[in-house]
Amino acid sequence: MGWEHDLFALFDDLEGQASALYAAERDVELADRSRAEYQQVTLASRLMATLGTEATLGVHGIGGPVTGTVERVAEEWVLVSSGEQDWVVNLDAVRTVEGASVRSVPEVAWSPLTRLGLGSALRRIAEAGERCLVHLRDGSRHEGTLRRVGGDFCELVEGEDRRMILIAFSGLAAAQSRV
């Protein structure tokens, strides 16, 4: 057995070391890939995986949390059904989410309807002609009826004197149905 055995033992040892180094490098590479891939996950994609379940949203400008069933999700907004009230929440105003799925749904798997912007959701409210409570990011609120919706703003008719207020989407936190 002599020198051949020693030579094969040396090769086996070198092969084992090479395998261990490869596995260590592979683990680091997989961790890097995982971090890089997770960068592509958006809040909307996590909420999309939460459809049909209850979640609690902390929304900038609203005094308390919005808790309810996540009914619809789009790139710019989320519809939360809370008892007899519905909330159209501007995703840019969402600070926190509790109860979200640990999974996400990649945007390539979304329906084309989810590409509809915040304006589309507000137009639906305007078409219904129902009163709503509009929450702004600065904490103020306006109650009235949405009349028309532009590209980056909406018109709210408020009060008995029917004064019209233009609300920029960038300042809007959520629109809440009034039942």
Cα dist from 38 to 17, 41, 45, 150, 176, whole Å: 32, 5, 11, 35, 32
Quickly state the pLDDT bin for 174 (edges 50, 70, 90).
Answer: very high
Residue 116: what pLDDT? Answer: 87
How far, in Å, CA of 111 to CA of 53, rounded? 19
Amino acid, res. 116: L
User: Residues 167, 88: contact at Cβ < 8 Å?
Assistant: no
Given the structure tokens 């919005």, which residue do they identify? Answer: 66
* Separation CA 162–CA 144 (nearest Å): 9
Q: What would the mean pLDDT of 10-30 be, rounded to a whole number? A: 69
- Check residue 150 and give left, alpha or beta (phi > 0: left; psi -120 to 50: alpha): beta
In a domain, 31, yes or no: no
Residue 54 lies in a domain: yes
Is residue 143 one of the residues assigned to a domain? yes
pLDDT digits (tens, 9 = 90+) for 64-105: 899 999 999 998 999 999 988 999 999 999 999 999 999 998
pLDDT attached to residue 80: 97
The answer to whether position 89 is within a domain reads yes
pLDDT score, position 101: 93
Host domain of residue 64: 43-177
Question: 68 in a domain, yes or no?
Answer: yes
The count of domains in the chain is 1
Is residue 112 situated within a structural domain? Answer: yes
Whether 37 is covered by a domain: the verdict is no
Q: Is residue 37 very low, low, confident or very high in pLDDT (cuts 50, 70, 90)?
A: confident
Order of strands across the sheet that contains 66-73: 94-98, 54-59, 66-73, 77-82, 85-90, 172-177, 131-136, 141-149, 153-158, 163-168
Q: Does residue 128 fall inside a structural domain? A: yes
Q: For residue 151, is pLDDT > 80?
A: yes
113 half-sphere exposure, CB direction, 13 A CA radius:
6
Name the pTM for this structure: 0.78
CATH number at residue 109: 2.30.30.600
Is residue 174 a contact partner of residue 87, using CB atoms and an 8 Å limit? Answer: yes
